[in-house]
Each structure stands twice: as C-alpha cells, then as structure tokens.
Amino acid sequence: MTRVPQQISDPISENLAKLAELFPAAVKDGALDLEALRAELGEFEEIKPGDETYELNWVGKQAAKKEAFKPLLGKTLSLKDDGKNSETSQNIYIEGDNLEALKLLRQNYYGEVKMIYIDPPYNTGKDFVYKDNFTTKSEESEQAEGSVSSEGERFSKNERSSNRFHARWLDMIYPRIKIAKELLSEDGVIFISIDDNEVANLRQVCDDVFGENNFVSTIAWEKRYSPQNAVKWFSEAHDFILIYAKEKLNWYPNLLERSDEMNARYRNLDNDPRGPWKPADATAQAGHGTQSQFYTVAAPNGKSHKLPNGRCWVYTEPVYQKMVEDNRIWFGETGNNVPAVKRFLTEVKQGTACQTIWKYTDVGHNQEGKKELNALFPETATFDTPKPVRLLERILKLATIENDLVLDFFSGSATTAHAVMQLNAQDGGTRRFIMVQLPEICAEDSDAAKAGYKTISEISKERIRRAGEKIKEELQAKHVEWQKQQAIETKKGGKLEIKDDEESEKAPNPYIIDPNSLDIGFKSFRIEDTKINWLKKDLRGEDIIAEAGLSTQDALDFVPGYTDTDVVYELMLRQSNIPLTGTITHPIATAQRTYLYADAYLICLEEKITQKLVEALAAIEPTPNKYFFRDSAFGKDIALKDETFRRLKAEIHKHHGDLGAAYTVEFI
C-alpha cells in the first residue's frame, strides 16, 4: 500500500531517482554507489584481485566495464561491392568484430534502434570466437580464484566451476550489452537468446546494465519437437529469451494476432445481428459482491435459477435486466439453462497478450530453421541449429511497427534479416535492419567450405540475397493470381477484359504489398583500418607513393588503398544520428571529388579550392548542414583559408539570405 508521504518534497530521493534512470548500476538499494558512478562516467581506479566483491563478480570485471568506454581509434567502415541494391537499400550488413561495430555505430545510431535481438555464444564448454583480452594476468587470476596463494602454494579446484570458465564469456558479453543499451531508443527493447549455461549470469549482467526494474520477462522457447533419449539426466527441449526494456514504462509489447482456433470458439447460435459470440460465466466469487448482486433469476421458460454457494451474479439486478432486454444473456436453446453472458467477437480485443511459453507449433523449432536454410541452399549444408524465421517474426511482431530499426550484432545465419523482410512483405512495413557478423572462417572440411564459402558472413549475406528474392517471387505470384481473379470478375459478354494498370491500382488488392517496393537489399560494410592519415605524419617514401598511385598531397592526407567513398563514410561516422544509408551524389558536375551525403553534408576532397568552386558550393540548394574541406588544399596559407571562407559565407548569404546561416565547416 502506498501512503501519502509526510514530507512535501524529498530532493535527495528525487535526485537519486534521476541518477538511477541515467545510471542504474550506480544506485543500489536506494543508495548511491560512488565507485559505480565513477565507472559509469569512465573513471576507473586500479582494482586489485579480490577487491570486486559486490553482486556478480569475476576476475576482470572492471576491465570489461572499462572496455565499453575505451575509444575505438584507427578503425572505420568501408563500403564493399557485395551488397544488394546498395544505392537504395536502407538495410546494413557489417562484417567484423561486433564490439568494434557497436562502437563505430554508437554516434550515428545513438537512441535510434527500436529492437535488438541477439543470439550470442552459449558457452557450452567449447571455444567461442570472441576472445577479447579483458582479463588480468594469469597469476593474478589464479590468486583471485584461489588456485594459488600469493606465495605460490597451489590448491586443488573444480576447473569448470571456477571463475575463469564463466569470466571469459562475461568479459565478452558485458561491454557489448553496455553499448547496445545506448543504441536503443527510449521505448526500445532487447531480446537475448540463451541456454542454462549462462542464463543466470546474463540476467545479472542485464540487471547491472539496464537496471533490475527494466526486466520484462523470460521466455521459454520449445526448440525441439522430440525427446533425446541418449542423455544422462533430462532431454533439453527449450532455450530462454531474456527481455529487457530501455525504460520499461515506455515499452509495452504489441498484441499478437488472434488465431483461427480462438475465433472458432465464437458462434452465433441465435443469429444475433452483432455477429458471433461465446457464452461466459455470469457469476463471480461472492466475496467480491455487494448485496445487490444476490438475487434469483427467472429464465424465459419460467424456471428459477438460484446462485451456487459462494457465488454472486456478475451484474446487479437492474443491470442484469437491461442485459436481458439487449439480448446479451443466453439461457440455452430451450431457455432452460443457467444464464450466461454473451461475449461478442467484435467486442473483444483484436489481438491477444503474449504468453511466456512459446511452443514450436507457434514459432518453429531448430529443425525448422535448418530446413529453411536447406531450401535456400540446396547445394550444401550451412548451419546446424539456426533459429526459425517464425521465432524472429514473433519477436518482431511484439516489438516493432512500420519503419522501426532492428539490430542483430550476432547475426549468424541472418535469420533476423530474413524475418524483417518476410514481415514487411506481410504487413507492408518498412522495417530496416543492421546485421553484424564476425567473418569466422568455415572449417576446411565443412560442406560450406567445399561449396566455396570461406566465412560465415559470406553465407549470411548470400542467405539475405536468396531469401529476399524468394519473398519477392512469392509476392509476385500472389499478384498474378489476384490479377487473374480481377480479370474473371470483369468478364463481359463471354470475353475477359483485363484492366489496365491505372484501373488495377484503383481496385482493392487483398495482398496490398507491391513486390517492387519491398527492400530486399543491403549495404555491405567491412570494418577496416582508417583511410585518413589523422596524425599527418611525414610523407611516406616516394616509392610507396608511386606504388599506391597517390599524389604527394593524397599521401599526406590518406592511406594507400583508400577511395573517396571510404573517406566520406569515415567522416559520416563522426556525425550524430546520421544513418549510413544516405545517398552520395555529385552536386557539382565540374568538381569530380566533391560529394553531397544525404543532401546535408558536403565533402570536398579537391586538392585546390578555387573561387569558381566556392561560388558553386554556395549555390547548392538547400545549404548543407556542414562543409568538409582538406586542410592541405590551402597549404600553409592561413590568409587564403580565411579569405576563402569569408567568400563562402558571403556567397551563401547572397544565394540563401538568412536561411543559409546555420552551417559549420570542418577540416580533414
């Protein structure tokens, strides 16, 4: 029971509540943890082994937390030519380490992602790929775990139950979850698949990052449809899916569609014009009733119905009489039955709340996921236990609408991307995805390697291509069928008249979705070393410059192997909330190395800035938000640089007046 507080205001509690919203890990049991707050702000003290004792602890936890704040220097995203519909697609695939990818995405997509789904390594005792070096030195780790003393005395221990077994996995997952939270919108949510090995630890990690109050639920997904007999204890039939909201009060799951089975329970036994209905109990627990809910009911055939012991009627007698007059009470076909309330299908929620147990009959199982991949890759086996598309569709239906952005940074077989395209094809949404996958090498003796796939990311990207085409073909087939039906319906005088395109557009199309409007492509990026010579070191040797085909000025500003497009994207990674799916155009025909990104950012990579170029830049409509220039284009002539930008300002004002005032200039 909540009481009215005696104190009119409590600024300390209010400030703590505000801190808890920003930094949930820093407020524990209503008290401020200063060390945790300093850690949230990126300040860390040297921690000796054994000092980290509060809540979930492992050797190297401080280093893992610190990793989330460590800046990522010398890396960028380079656009590759193995995407699909790359110039127009709003989807992204990133090949590389997902921790680096999250850091690269942090500024562009901070608070922009509506839903995250990840299926991280389950730490089943086998090696996993993510081997970040967050742990302390071996001897420090052994001392902290109790395997050796500071004097070198060795103790016996259970290797699997030691800190080190779980620590390596926790080192990997913690900073990724930490940064992922920053990418979520205020009404965003994350779904994480996991099994028994780390579900307890993952729950505590998420409590630490999101705050225990933002835990939503744990889903039990039935991943197998038949028991395994060759087991020592129990046949595992389920995995877990943990759900955490960025802010629980801002996120509520969408209702799921009502099934045919649910709707079949509603019938119209008396031809009521309000449509199908089903009978519901007209009584309730007597303990909650008032005196007016205890009375004897007379049925239409004259029979009296008394209340059972411990029950009362749902309605008071006056309300009950109105219900009878409105034909909302059912006494059976003979009018002799105990009264029941008619619940009309049209008056129930057009959806149903999601339960926490997901049966394979509703969302699929691992074997179904494997069959889906086999259908797309008949020439080879690819993944052993991929998630089924129906599972991800369920998650997407619960957590997204229309144009929401979805992130999966353990992309694996790219089921999430497949499900996004599939659901868009069903409901006309324009959901977008960002997939991230490490280019893990396929084993030499694997079927995938024999089929020519070198890495998992290659298989994933091919899955997106094939799945997208399959979805589009299925939509086109539906449209053809619909057009045939339209032709039949317009049959006149024994002759079929097929409507022209304009008429067809006006006719109601039950499938709605235009196959050509579906985004089944993606921009393909790879994490690579920076393409910009940020430190402006001494020029490389003449032979290196010649080999790379670089001018002396380019060798000063960029690294061998760069492209102008690389530089554009590397600059865009330093902007706030600018998606990486913007269009790159040439706004000035005579300026070959001047680019406009998303109609908002002007990147001028010309080696010289002329007055004619400045005039052309100033005339661009509308005025870009920001201009980028090469510092080397002005040499050491500071006066020339100042004069150039005075001229740019004057020209912009001449063309756009005060509307062109809000722009900035930066130099490479």
Same domain, 297 and 250: no
Closest CA to 624 of 567, 566, 578: 578
The domain boundary residue, chosen from 347, 378, 406: 347
What single string gives the DSSP state of each residue in 620-635?
Answer: -SSPPSEEEE-GGGGT
Q: Is-contact 235 86, C-beta < 8 A? A: no
Q: Which amino acid is at 294?
A: F
3 by Cβ neighbours in 10 Å (0-12 / 13-18 / 19+) ranks as exposed
The residue range of the domain holding 423 is 86-132+172-256+359-480+517-528
Same domain, 595 and 658: yes
CATH number of the domain to which 473 belongs: 3.40.50.150
Same domain, 625 and 648: yes
How many alpha carbons fall within 13 Å on the CB side of residue 206?
A: 25
- Residue whose entry in the numeric block shows the structure tokens 């990052």: 209
In a domain, 599, yes or no: yes
Same domain, 249 and 202: yes
Q: Which two tokens stand for residue 230?
A: 């060759």
In a domain, 591, yes or no: yes
In a domain, 458, yes or no: yes
User: How are beta strands 304-305 and 340-344 bridged, if at all?
Assistant: unpaired
Helices (H) and strands (E) in the chain, counts: 21, 24
For residues 470 and 171, give the distance between their C-alpha atoms in angstroms, rounded to a whole number.
39
For residues 315 and 321, give the distance between their C-alpha atoms in angstroms, rounded to a whole number.
9
Q: CA-CA-CA-CA torsion for 193, 374, 94, 530, nearest 10 degrees?
A: 130
Q: What is the pLDDT of residue 487?
A: 73
In a domain, 43, yes or no: no
In a domain, 185, yes or no: yes
Q: What would you report as the CA-atom Rg of the chain, rounded to the nearest whole angstrom?
A: 32
Q: Is-contact 119 126, C-beta < 8 A? A: no
In a domain, 619, yes or no: yes
The domain boundary residue, chosen from 285, 312, 347: 347
Same domain, 405 and 419: yes
Which positions of the chain have pLDDT values less than 70? 1-11, 29-30, 45-55, 124-165, 489-512, 537-549, 660
169 by Cβ neighbours in 10 Å (0-12 / 13-18 / 19+) ranks as buried
The domain boundary residue, chosen from 502, 528, 554: 528
Q: What total number of domains does the chain contain?
A: 3
Check the CA dihedral 395-397-398-401 and report its sign: positive
Same domain, 320 and 409: no
Same domain, 331 and 475: no
Query: What's the pLDDT tens digit per position in 535-591?
Result: 875 555 555 555 556 778 888 899 988 999 999 999 999 998 899 999 999 999 999
DSSP H or E run through 28: strand 27-28
Same domain, 320 and 390: no
Query: What's the pLDDT tens digit per position in 423-448?
Result: 999 988 999 999 999 988 888 888 88
Q: Is-contact 596 602, C-beta < 8 A? A: yes
Listed in sequence order, the DSSP H helices in 500-637 are: 501-506, 542-548, 552-557, 564-572, 611-618
Same domain, 124 and 228: yes
Same domain, 228 and 376: yes
Q: What is the pLDDT of residue 544?
A: 53
Q: Is-contact 175 182, C-beta < 8 A? A: no
Answer whether 0.85 is exceeded by the pTM: no
DSSP H or E run through 340: strand 340-344
Q: What is the pLDDT of residue 391?
A: 97
Same domain, 203 and 219: yes
In a domain, 158, yes or no: no
Same domain, 94 and 204: yes
Q: Which two tokens stand for residue 571?
A: 């600059």
Q: Which two tokens stand for residue 523?
A: 């921009």
Q: Which two tokens stand for residue 603?
A: 């990147």
Cis peptide before 622 (omega within 30 of 0): yes
Could you count the other beta carbons within 10 Å of the beta carbon of residue 406? 25
Q: What is the pLDDT of residue 493?
A: 56
Q: What is the pLDDT of residue 40?
A: 82
DSSP H or E run through 7: none
Q: Is-contact 386 74, C-beta < 8 A? A: no
Q: What is the pLDDT of residue 143?
A: 42
Closest CA to 299 of 334, 342, 272, 341: 334
Closest CA to 557 of 473, 471, 631: 631
For residues 324 and 330, give the distance between their C-alpha atoms in angstroms, rounded to a whole number.
8
Q: What is the pLDDT of residue 547?
A: 57
- 312 forms bridges with which residues in the sheet? 284
In a domain, 393, yes or no: yes
φ, ψ for residue 188 (rounded to 5)?
Answer: -90, 170
Q: What is the pLDDT of residue 606?
A: 95
